[in-house]
Amino acid sequence: MFAGAAAFALGLAVAPVELPEPAPAAVEAVPSEATPVVEPMTSEAEMLDDAGPTAPRIPSPRPRTPANSVASGDTPGPAAPHSRGIPLFVLGGAATTIGVALNVFVTADSLREADGWDAYEEARCEDDDNCTSPATGYILLNLAPSVAFATGFGMIAGGMARLGRLDAWADVVGGRRATPWRPRPRLGWGLFGAGLGLWAVTRLAGAACGARSSETCAIAVWEAGYVGRLAMTGPGLAMIGYAAGHRRQRRALATLRVQPMIAGELVGLTVGGRF
């Protein structure tokens, strides 16, 4: 009996006790980030329809300029000639200096030979085919300085032509002139012609003086005419070259001109001149 009572008590102690389940806690919803909604773009016409009738837009007036007007601002003109002819002046001066030295040598040598020249020497020279008179030797030897002078004067005239082009550009386009000179072609041709005329006259006069007087007289007259010719033809060629370069450059600038043009809403370039 006691055993049964003990077993009943032990069963009560060992039997599991069922506890009630806890009620589930309420979970609050976490708000998520809202996804941006892209609204469709509204055209300008729809906006105007929504806004109702509005006043028409009037474009701001643009200043109108004549068709032949040039846009405001400094318009770059044709480029200036790149050279002033300095190398030509240097070479021309060197050639002229050589001509002067050769002419002095030839003249001094010819006058020394003519100093002792008399009728006997002239008669002896006529019988010798290899003999030449001092006057004839002067003419032949003077060819060397003549070539040097022609080369030097030609180069100087070329340099003056470059200066004439530069001054013509300054006169037409604007800028500082390289020289204060003005083209005087008539004066240049006049000096050139006068120098040639003096040379021709002194050749005839020297031949007459040599026939009547002596070889020394002929050489002296010829040398005077030679120096006078150089003094006239040199400046004359320089004036002619300057005038020729000035005239050609002015014609080139007047032949074609390109300028920007604005006429109303039209923007472009105007090309004028002779074609």
pLDDT in tens, 112-128: 888 877 655 666 666 66
The rounded distance, in Å, linking the Cα atoms of 239 and 234 is 9
pLDDT band at residue 267, thresholds of 50, 70 and 90?
A: confident
Mean pLDDT of 184-190: 95
End-to-end CA distance of the chain: 148
Torsion of CA 246, 248, 254, 256, to 10 degrees: -140
The answer to whether position 268 is within a domain reads: yes
DSSP 173: T
Q: How far is CA 85 from CA 6, 88, 136, 207, in A?
A: 144, 5, 39, 41
The answer to whether position 79 is within a domain reads: no
pLDDT band at residue 12, thresholds of 50, 70 and 90?
A: very low
Q: Where are the beta strands (DSSP E) in the chain?
A: 256-263, 266-273
* Residues whose CB is less than 8 angstroms from the CB of residue 131 and which lie 6 or more positions away in sequence, other chains included: 124, 125
Mean pLDDT of 60-85: 53
Is it the case that residue 194 has pLDDT exceeding 80? yes
Residues 216-243 have pLDDT tens digits of 899 999 999 999 999 999 999 999 999 9
The answer to whether position 160 is within a domain reads: yes
Beta bridge partners of residue 64, listed in sequence order: none
With beta carbons less than 8 A apart as the criterion, state whether 162 and 99 touch.
Answer: no
The rounded distance, in Å, linking the Cα atoms of 106 and 160 is 30
The answer to whether position 57 is within a domain reads: no
pLDDT given for residue 113 in this prediction: 84
pLDDT given for residue 198 in this prediction: 96
**Domains in the chain, number:** 1
SS3 string of 122-152? Answer: HHHHHHCCCCCCHHHHHHHHCHHHHHHHHHH
Pick from 110, 152, 107, 154: which is nearest to 133 by CA? 110
pLDDT band at residue 72, thresholds of 50, 70 and 90?
A: very low
The answer to whether position 35 is within a domain reads: no
Q: Supply 211's token pair.
A: 């026939």
* Residues whose CB is less than 8 angstroms from the CB of residue 110 and which lie 6 or more positions away in sequence, other chains included: 134, 135, 137, 138, 141, 219
More confident position, 153 or 216: 153
The answer to whether position 78 is within a domain reads: no
Is it the case that residue 87 has pLDDT exceeding 60? yes
More confident position, 272 or 5: 272
The answer to whether position 229 is within a domain reads: yes
pLDDT given for residue 143 in this prediction: 94
Placement of tokens 């010829």 in the chain: 222
With beta carbons less than 8 A apart as the criterion, state whether 135 and 215 touch.
Answer: yes
The answer to whether position 62 is within a domain reads: no
Q: Cα 262 to chain center, whole Å?
A: 28
Neighbours of 149 (CB within 10 A): 22
With beta carbons less than 8 A apart as the criterion, state whether 70 and 260 touch.
Answer: yes
pLDDT given for residue 20 in this prediction: 53
Which of 24-38, 59-73, 179-193, 226-240 is predicted least confidently? 59-73
Supply the range of the domain harboring residue 261.
86-273
pLDDT band at residue 58, thresholds of 50, 70 and 90?
A: low
Mean pLDDT of 53-78: 47
Mean pLDDT of 67-77: 43
